[in-house]
Every structure is written in C-alpha cells, then in structure tokens.
Chains A and B, each alone.
Chain A
Amino acid sequence: MVKKSKYKPLDFVIDKLTNSIENTSTGEVFDTEVVRLVLKDISQVKKTDWQFDWAKELKDKTKEVYKLTTENNHSIIQGLISIEDKQDHIFMHLIESAKFNKNKDKVYLGVPGNLVAYACKVSVDSGYQGFLAFDAKTALIKHYQESLYATHFRGLKMFIETKAALRLISQYFKS
C-alpha cells in the first residue's frame, strides 16, 4: 500500500547551490558544498574511516559518488552519497555520514538530508521531475516519511516524488 506524507506544494526557482549543516553543540550553521568524486580521488576516502566500501562505488562506472564538505574546508568529508542514473529516476545506493557525524555525539546535523536533497536536485536537473528511489531500514521508514517527505512503496522500498523533492531542495538550497 502506498502511504504519502502531507505537505504543502511549493513553487520556487533554485539559483544558488549553497546549503548548510549545523554544529550540534554551538548551533552554528556552516555553508556546505557537494562535489563529485571520481576514481582518482580515491585517496580522499580512507577505508578505515568509513563503514561502506566507497572504493567499490567509485570504481563502478554506473554510479556517481559525491562528497559533502563545508565551504571553508574541502578536505574534511562530512558525508558521502552514491547514486545511479536509471534514465527515468535517480536510484540512491548509499549514503553515509562521516564517523564524527554518527551516533549521539555527532558533530553536525543535517548531513544525510543535505545529500538526499542534492540527489533530488540531480533528478530534477536530469529531467526526472525529482524522482528518487531507495531502500530504508524498517525502523526508519516513518522517519523518512516525516523528514524527507518520502513515499513508502513496498517492503523497504521508498521513493521521493516531485513535490517532496522540490520541498527538500527548497529546504537546503537558497533560492
């Protein structure tokens, strides 16, 4: 059964790719950038720092890997995303926050949401009307419905459709 979250439709133009994350202890907000990583950038992703095998993602030509950093420090990766162009939608393979952005002591809030919003932007820019598909952990399906305005498709399968994607993009990208 398809369950949809409630939201108000939005109408806006995105003209600046500036987004942000928030320091959990100070509340300070830092502007961020999303940059594509390619195989030659593999040294930036130390295997011991990450749970998933990002080298494998970088080597896979069907996938695109992007890193999220703060605008002032491009060398510290806050999070990574791996997506695939499915010709009519974007499929999200992996998202992982940096070690220091995990668990209750995480340094920054907003890293995954930021990356999901970017994936939605890729979908819009590709002419797929913002459609983004992914798998969720059972316990997080409700969270994703509420925070990412995602639609539950079946089992662990979820997707983000146009209005939800535009709303997400509007939350992260200044217009």
Chain B
Amino acid sequence: MGLIREPKNVDFTFESKPWTEVELRDFRKLMTELKSKKVKQKVRGLDARKKVIA
C-alpha cells in the first residue's frame, strides 16, 4: 500500500465550480467513449481467450 504524500509546501484543496451544460455534455461524450473503449477491450480479451480454449 502506498500513500500519496503531497509536497509539504503544497495543499491539495479542491473547490469546484459547477460545470456548464456544454462542459458536462462534452465530458459525458468523452466519458462514454472511454467507457465503451474499455468494454470493447474486455470483449476482445474474452474473444482471444475463447479462441485459445477452442
């Protein structure tokens, strides 16, 4: 197990502003692409395993 040790002189403080509709829409588009890419990778992995078994 590792710890993320932020530098002593740096404080990780987050204060987010609500994202605009456009920002959210674009982010969701990107997120959907990334999520589906991951699913495709999983499917490809399963196909490869099936071929080995066959």
Contacts and interface: CB of A to CB of B under 8 A. Distances in A.
B11 A135 contact: no
B43 interface: no
Contacts of B15: 52, 93-94, 135
Interface residues of B, number: 27
Interface in A115-153: 116, 129, 131, 133-137, 140, 143-144, 147-148, 153
B3 A95 contact: no
Contacts of B11: 97, 102-103, 106, 112
Contacts of A104: 8-9
B35 interface: yes
Contacts of A65: none
By DSSP majority rule, is chain A's interface helix, strand, loop, or mixed? mixed
Given A88-B28, A134-B14, A143-B10, A129 B35 contact: yes
A157 B3 contact: no
Q: Interface extent on A, as a size class? A: 35 or more
Nearest to A172: B1
Contacts of A170: 1
Interface of A: 2, 20-22, 24, 29, 51-52, 88-89, 91-97, 102-104, 106, 109-110, 112-114, 116, 129, 131, 133-137, 140, 143-144, 147-148, 153-154, 157, 159, 161-162, 168, 170-174
